[in-house]
Amino acid sequence: MSRAGSQQRTLLEILGKLRPFWRNDTGLASRIDTLLSRDRRLGSRDRRLYRELIYVALRYLPWVEPLLDSAPAEAARRIAWLSADSPSVGPFRQELAGDLPDCPPDSEGKARILGEEAAALSPGWLGTECPEALALPLRDALLSRAPLWLRLQTADPAPVLAEFDGLSWAWSRNPRAPGALKLGAGLDVAKTEAYLTGKVEIQDIGSQLILETVGVSTGGHWLDACAGSGGKTLQLAALLGPEGVVTARDIRRAALQELSVRATRAGLQSRIRVGAGEDPPRGFDGVLVDAPCSGSGTWRRSPHLRWATTAASLLEGAGLQLQILAENASRVRPGGTLVYATCSLCRTENESVVERFLGGARGFEPLIRGTRIAPPEPDGDAFFVASFIRRS
């Protein structure tokens, strides 16, 4: 058996193990990593290959899944053809799908060649939640792999850019986010001097634009109520400057531990209070609620969420989002700012939550009633942000 033939057999075996979970497990990414890391047959190059192929299969699941039973070799052939011609995938792709026409960049072109429907690549509830995602250019952007974005944490980016140039890494800037730096996918930034010394952090440009859109004045004490591992916490601390303080909270202890490590690496540990329990007597000058959500804005990185999300789960999530927003609204001082954000495209989690909050909240007026940040410009994940001022 050829090398590609052996790889095809392994790929189909892995997909068989994942198949029971890819329409119901929102944590599928961790399952994939565990499955690949525990397979002693696979080296680092193999894991890179299969991870890329798995994620392609998840992006185009309706075009692949039916063939896993009736024509598994054709399923693998489609996955190979739909994959980018990267160094890790190239030989596999050439042997299995080299006789097919060039793969078009757009989903309609791909569908015509395969005899499929592009509309099948979107879940049925999406037309109600975000009709824009059924049309170009957002539809095809959400089917593409997202690049790697960094945020500069230094006033002098020259050494960072010189290091990347020395590694022959192509990079670009975006005027919408002054600190954003775009690199190609798959680069090991965590081993660079720039990362190890805290001069850059990995943070998607859409995430960065949440606080850029809101506008944050220097000084003051802010709460990041759903901080996670702290990408926005670090950005907020940098925007507030030396006189500012950020209290970071999250129900996930492991995430806060990672935030502490990142804050120390960035030299911002004196400005960030991780897990602090006491609110200021008059309340916070600003509160950021980056609420847990469906993650539909992150389909480029987490394509399984496209199939693991249902209309019912959106409604359930919106109830929790409204509860978190209302609870933390009470922590904003009079004259202070409340920010609501999600990495979701869905109206149920975004505009509907904002309207329900304003309908029940006293003393809050919208500053930004709601705006979406979505690819292809900027070329990152999709986010929603709204902000309010507390008048009394």
End-to-end CA distance of the chain: 74
DSSP assignment, residue 145? P
pLDDT of residue 84: 87
Residues of the chain with CATH 3.40.50.150: 205-390
DSSP 35-54: HHHT-TT--HHHHHHHHHHH
Q: What confidence tens digit (pLDDT) does each residue in 121-166 have?
A: 999 999 999 999 999 999 999 999 999 999 999 999 999 999 999 9
pLDDT of residue 143: 97
* 264: CB partners within 8 A, 6+ apart: none
Helix (H, G, I), strand (E, B) or coil at 311: helix
pLDDT of residue 8: 96
Which strand (E) or helix (H) includes residue 221?
A: strand 220-224
205-390 is classed CATH 3.40.50.150 = yes
pLDDT of residue 203: 97
Fold (topology level) of 148-202: Alpha-Beta Plaits (3.30.70)
pTM of the predicted model as reported, rounded to 2 decimal places: 0.95
pLDDT of residue 321: 98
The residues of the chain scoring below 70 in pLDDT are none
pLDDT of residue 53: 97
Paired residues of 176 in beta bridges: none
pLDDT of residue 108: 97
Place of tokens 């798959």: 186
